[in-house]
A and B are shown apart, each in its own frame.
Chain A
């Protein structure tokens, strides 16, 4: 069974004249690494807010169609009930952190749902270890770097052991190396723990290599969905205004000039470099 399934989902914010998402029907299988992209205002953030019920419970407005997440109809259940199943990580970690120590921040969600002390200890330590911040757990979340703060935000949702983690441009404020490390942490959780990841990103140069399910949205509509290699080599994707990774773009440019690098569209510099070494390395 799909972990997330929507059918003809259409949502309008209160007071808005037109819907932000229109007729969205998607299916996400357990363990997938989904990347949602598309031009500003295409509805990607709004769609993510439906996954834990923030839309419509918090934002109000009008939601039509069907949605089920981890087997639960989010329309009939509160956001706090969804928190056990879906964790949300936002762009700016500062907005999400508030406790006196990192450890307390990570434990907060568990305290709220009344997890016994022993079990809480175990889950918090696990989440701190998974995100590589165990050693700094006693420090204040406000005196650490932005990259570390975003790890705390991820650890906080991870401690709840959700089936799905939704991340909305989680590295925008981070320097490139810290961003790369965050994506590696997320990828590891996906690969080793089998957690379903939904990542919203503009910057495919950094993220295309992790995904196995790409969703391209435009003006509230899902325009393309499926295999990232196929979608990123589709001319329509570029015309929608999606920033194609440079490695993928270079592969296409070379192909047009008659340089055959094989059928596999590369999603990363490693893949393209490998293909080029293969094609040009044996004169």
Chain B
């Protein structure tokens, strides 16, 4: 089909402008999210002050907003415990797969971890419920952490494999030609070179675990009358609390949910920015 040069040029301009416009339009939800969170959550935070981070949640009909302490403590601990489980596993598997890429087991490893990322997180929650929670007789921080660990594993693995793959072949060859073993190269060369990207992977996995709700739905419990009851007892989490309170009919709970959302948003943005600054320092 023949088109004149002018019509092609016009078409070009129009389409480029449309694409840029769509791209910038896509950013508006984030602006709206931050605006709403600051507007509605800010009011709650100003009213409750720093006590919001240290107090227990309110009763449905009380007039004060109380605080989110059990959720905050639960989230911090559960995500730490979760990445404590995933990081060593993901690290070893990632190293293994990048060092022995042709080995049939590496293929198996790749396929299995990829399959994990296809498992819906609510299914993981049900699985932990029917195994760990059922056998322990109670929902617990430990069960929640295990669910989070399964869900974060594929993310951590992807971060670490891409970190290991970014090692220049020349460095690898230099290490080998000095007579280093693979483990020696890992300890003396790779970890030093990759320390920032490995730290980023760790941080991003933590953020991922911190913000996830679905794995905790049936595993974590919903602790409200104490800040912390022990690892083997019920606990709470910030995203979980937001979710449950947002679905509840009480106005006061909605306000707590917005306050908690602002806290979660601030934590997320802070950790995300730190991890980005870390990445910027990496030059290979």
Query: Are A and B subunits of one complex?
Result: no
Chain A contacts to B: CB under 8 angstroms: none
